[in-house]
Amino acid sequence: MDASQDKILCQCFSISESEVRAATDFAGCSTLADIKKTTCAGKGCMSCHGKIKAILREMAEQRDHSPADSPV
């Protein structure tokens, strides 16, 4: 995602969409609690919870539908 298009999801802690996506990809976050612990997103007013959960669902679907690594 282009940095100029990266949207802030959590206004309270200025956490961007790309940071939440990175937490799912690289830190293994798969729940809202994981995201809160890893990035602090969602710990404030909680208005971003819906957006974070939508990203988590999207990322889980991508993982579920990605081809398994084939043995060499």
Q: Mind listing the pLDDT tens digit for each residue in 7-60?
A: 999 999 999 999 999 999 999 999 999 999 999 999 999 999 999 999 999 999
For residues 61 and 44, give the distance between their C-alpha atoms in angstroms, rounded to a whole number.
27
Question: Domain locations in the chain?
Answer: 3-59
Q: Is domain 3-59 annotated with CATH 3.90.1150.10? A: no
For residues 30 and 53, give the distance between their C-alpha atoms in angstroms, rounded to a whole number.
9
Predicted pLDDT of residue 48: 98
